[in-house]
Amino acid sequence: MEVTITGRHMEMTQALRDYTRQRLKKVSRYSFKPIEAAVRLSVEKYRHTAEITLWVDGNRILAKEETDEMYRSIDMAMDKIEQRLRRYKEKLSRHKPPSARKTPVPKPVKKTPMITREAYIVSTLSMDDALSRLALVKTDHVVFFDDTDEQLKLLMRGKNGHFELTELIID
């Protein structure tokens, strides 16, 4: 955990830094670990203010306390942080997705084969015209009478990008 401790209008002692870091280590007893912590300590006349900001799982948790003694301000701000972390952890545990055994398994539905009917206007085309029409339309096939041999033909675009030609024989 990256901890930044800043003092304003006061001299930061090593004991104060160590005490603040020691109090922040208690946050690790929760299952998630904060990524970053920022502590701002300031003194204005008789007011000793401790402002602690934690970033946990993309959420910012902030606590600010003001007393007449710096160590008490740190303690009270950390108590607020721990209370908010406890609430956050409870909120996460309450919002679990429902278990799989409570979800009923849907019965398989019989699928009946579906028949689709399409009507085509069959015109007489050359092979080049059929290829250009296939390139212009959004469908993947063209039905036409070939102008060279007067046969009914089906020109399809395959999945690999190649074209397939099928001659249809009418009895």
What mean pLDDT comes out for the span 142-159? 86
Please state, in angstroms and rounded to a whole number, the distance separating the CA atoms of residues 82 and 21.
14
Eight-class DSSP state of 107: P
Q: Which residue has the tokens 């948790």?
A: 61
Q: Write phi, then psi, for 48 (nearest 5 degrees).
A: -105, 115
**Which pLDDT value is given to residue 19?**
95
Of 27-36, 51-60, 66-75, 108-117, give the range with the top mean pLDDT. 66-75
Q: What is the mean pLDDT of residues 24-32?
A: 77
Tell me what pLDDT residue 97 has: 65
User: How far is it, in rounded angstroms, from Cα 50 to Cα 37?
Assistant: 13
- Residue 29 pLDDT > 90: no
Of 140 and 33, the structure prediction assigns the larger pLDDT to: 140
- Residue 40's closest CA among 76, 4, 84? 4
Q: Is beta strand 152-157 parallel, antiparallel or unpaired with respect to 163-168?
A: antiparallel
Say yes or no to pLDDT of 136 above 70: yes
d(CA 63, CA 132) in angstroms, rounded, equals: 71
Q: For the chain, which domains are there?
A: 2-94 (3.30.160.100), 123-168 (3.30.505.50)
Position 151 confidence tier, pLDDT thresholds 50, 70, 90: confident
Contact 157, 141 (CB under 8 A): yes
Pairing of strands 141-146, 123-125: parallel
- Mean pLDDT value of segment 77-83: 94
Nearest-angstrom CA–CA distance, 64 and 147: 87
Nearest alpha carbon to residue 6 among 68, 45, 53 = 53
Report pLDDT digits (tens) over 92-126: 777 766 554 566 667 777 878 888 887 777 888 88
Q: Percentage of the chain surpassing pLDDT 90? A: 33
pLDDT at 81: 93
Is the Cβ–Cβ distance between 55 and 34 less than 8 Å? yes
